[in-house]
Amino acid sequence: MYKRLTAVIESSPLTTALAAITLVLGLLLTAGAFLYAPTDSIQGDVQRVFYIHAPMAICCYLAGGVVAGAGVLYLLTRNMFWDVIARSSAEIAVLFTTLVLVTGSLWGKPVWGTWWTWDARLTTTLILWFIYAGYLMLRSYVGEPERAARYSVLVGLLGAVDIPLVHVSVEWWRTLHPQGVIDSAGGSPALPGSMLILFGLGCLTMLALYTLLLLVRVRVELLRDRLLLAEESQLSEVEETEPARTGALANARPLRSPGNLP
Amino acid sequence: MHQNLGFLFAAFALTWAAFFVYLFYVQRLLAETGRRLRALERVSSARRAAPRRPDPETNGAD
């Protein structure tokens, strides 16, 4: 199964097709947000930030869910394939969370009059950013791959706990951040149809973008693992043929067990 | 009517620029790793194809 999944991920036509789809969706979204979407009567034009900000926030949740899910699958199967998925998704989660915070600030300055406030939604999102940044730091500090994978599952699960908190923070605490307009209390969306269409397009665009980035990042990680194994087998070959010259090199062998890679 | 357009442009420009820069960085990483892997495979196959050098300790007697 892993070989088939790896083959799908490493398929260049799939990546090219996804990149083309993402580009078209991105252009449509940008044009739609500027030209098609109605101007908000209270917030003015800056409200259009919503069409990228909210879909990116949803993709943060998705990326965090993938980090936690793939981490748990790694613990269950001990196959490094799942760890590759988890660490790739964590990097993309940092990117999406950063952009959610930045675009939120750019919206907050004209609407709230401040770049930042310690509001529950903003604070829990910042905590989420720290969790995924910490995840990546942990990966780079722990050298041994299997140990790094095991430890980072815990951090990934911590992120998964924070995600629902981010989502319900606007209901649990009194916040400046607007309440949900898609899943409003009445059950029906509080947005007019044209805004809802663009919001849907935004979600589709960000989903395609997330999938594309994950696909390319996973390809890099799989290739890196293969490179490490090739370096290791090269070293063994040299050891066999020229043992006297490579005695010292043997200590520098990378710690990687080839058995559990896809 | 165009209120705070600067903030709106900045938000969209920053978002798309960040995604393009990240995608460019990952694509470069992919190309570089692929190039290193191919170079290593070339060295490895050349080593296998080359005749084995005699061991200086046994003076090629093995």
Chain A residues in contact with B12 by the CB 8 A cut-off are: 30, 33, 49, 52
pLDDT at A43: 84
pLDDT digits (tens, 9 = 90+) for A29-46: 999 999 988 888 888 888
Band (A247; pLDDT cuts 50, 70, 90) = low
Per the CB < 8 Å rule, is A220 touching B26? yes
Query: What is the percent of chain B with per-residue pLDDT over 90, rounded to a whole number?
Result: 45
CA angle A80, A142, A59 (to 5 degrees): 60
Please tell me whether the overall predicted TM-score, pTM, comes out greater than 0.90 for this model: no
pLDDT digits (tens, 9 = 90+) for A75-94: 999 999 999 999 999 999 99
* Between B38 and A206, residue with greater pLDDT: A206
Residue A251, pLDDT > 70, answer no
Q: Which residue has the tokens 């370096």?
A: A231
3-state helix/strand/coil string of A45-78: HHHHHHHHHHHHHHHHHHHHHHHHHHHHHHHHHC
| Partner B contacted by A20 (CB < 8 A) | no
Query: What is the percent of chain A with per-residue pLDDT over 70, rounded to a whole number?
Result: 87
Per the CB < 8 Å rule, is B7 touching A110? yes
pLDDT digits (tens, 9 = 90+) for A149-193: 999 999 999 999 999 999 998 888 887 788 777 665 566 667 778
Q: Predicted ipTM?
A: 0.83
Residue A144, pLDDT > 90, answer no
**Crossing angle (nearest 10°) for helices A80-112 and A145-172:** 30
pLDDT at B57: 61
Residue B60, pLDDT > 60, answer no
Mean pLDDT of chain A: 86
pLDDT digits (tens, 9 = 90+) for A105-114: 999 999 988 9
Give CA–CA dist A229/A235, Å, rounded.
10
| Partner A contacted by B11 (CB < 8 A) | yes
pLDDT digits (tens, 9 = 90+) for B38-50: 888 888 888 777 7
